[in-house]
Structure 1
Amino acid sequence: MTRIPGLERRSGQDRRENGLPVFKRLYFKGMRSSIRRTGDRQRIVALDRYQPSLFVGIMVVLCLSLLDAMLTLILIAQGASELNPVMRYYLSHGPQVFLLAKYGLTALSVLIIVLLKESLITRYRIGTGMLLHVFAAFFGSVVIWEFYLLSVH
């Protein structure tokens, strides 16, 4: 590239450097809310902004998971037994470990779904909203079953 004196338009500062303080980054919430390039859809890409409905779905799944764990502990105290061998293992280490494992495994699953959002939509035509609805329906049916067991016992 040839340089012509007096026609330099660059300021000398790299525009990609992010000099915003942390609070301003949180306030402006970033700009990427979707993936534009088809090549990027094949990779795991973290976005800056997500839809509010995704947050609601995440909160519903996590709250139903915690409610399931609490109801399971109540049923165990009344003489029931845990059928899931993984959760039975954590339950044998105490209720705090059980609650932490239950919440942690659910939160990890939800995080993986959110991170793989664009890849799942592109490859399998599965939306994360649909997967979160399936999770919520699953936990909701388990909670309803546990309430039924509590009412019968």
Structure 2
Amino acid sequence: MERRSGKDRRARPTSPLSLASLMGRRRHARRREDRTVYVYVDRYGWRSVFAVVSTLILCIADAFLTLTLLQRGAMEANPVMDFFIGLGPLPFLLVKYILTAFGLGTLLIHKNLAIFRGRLPVKTLLLALPVLYGILIAYELFLATFV
């Protein structure tokens, strides 16, 4: 008995923001030829999730170190963040966290794509962000300690 309906469910990709994204089982396309066409997945690997969570934690540490350095006479180089610092520490912290979380979510959803004409996989960028934030935190700790 034929159980197929005749309709190819892969004709239209699953939306990355659908309920299946929260409860699905797919981490990658099963067929090699589908991996270039169907790039969105339902579940994410532990490395990608760890990169997102650690980047968010480092983002919060960066925000507090930035506020500490500003109290010691430093200036914010980013004009957008400088505007929110002028509104107070809480708006600055919230906006910094929300913008970072939105950007990381966007990168996570699109982790199987490549940017710059296919030269840089988004997953590589996603995994590099905690390292870059770590370098920034080390620099800010140096400034707070020795300058």
Q: TM tier, shorter chain?
A: 0.7 to 0.9
| Structure 2: runs of 5+ lacking an equivalent | 4-8, 10-20
Q: Is the 8 A contact 1:117 1:128 kept in 2?
A: yes
2-structure distance, mates of 1:149, 1:34: 43
Q: Which has the higher contact order (CA 8 A, sep 6+)?
A: 1
| Aligned-residue offset at 1:134 | 2.6
Q: Is the 8 A contact 1:57 1:133 kept in 2?
A: yes
* Matched residue, 2:25: 31
Counterpart code for 2:124:
M
1-structure distance, mates of 2:37, 2:144: 51
2:137 pairs with 106, 130, 143, which one?
A: 143
Counterpart code for 1:137:
V
Matched, 1:60 2:58: no
2:75 pairs with 76, 81, 88, which one?
A: 81
2-structure distance, mates of 1:69, 1:152: 19
Number of residues of Structure 1 aligned to a counterpart in Structure 2: 126
**1:62-113 CA-partner distances (Å, limit 9, x unpaired):** 1111110000011111221111111101111111111111111111111111
Q: Alpha carbon RMSD of aligned pairs, Å?
A: 2.4
Identity across matched positions, percent: 35
| Aligned-residue offset at 1:133 | 3.2
* Matched residue, 1:72: 66
| Aligned-residue offset at 1:135 | 1.6
Rg larger in 1 or in 2? Answer: 1
Task: State TM-score, norm by structure 1.
Answer: 0.71
| Structure 1: runs of 5+ lacking an equivalent | 1-7, 11-15, 17-24
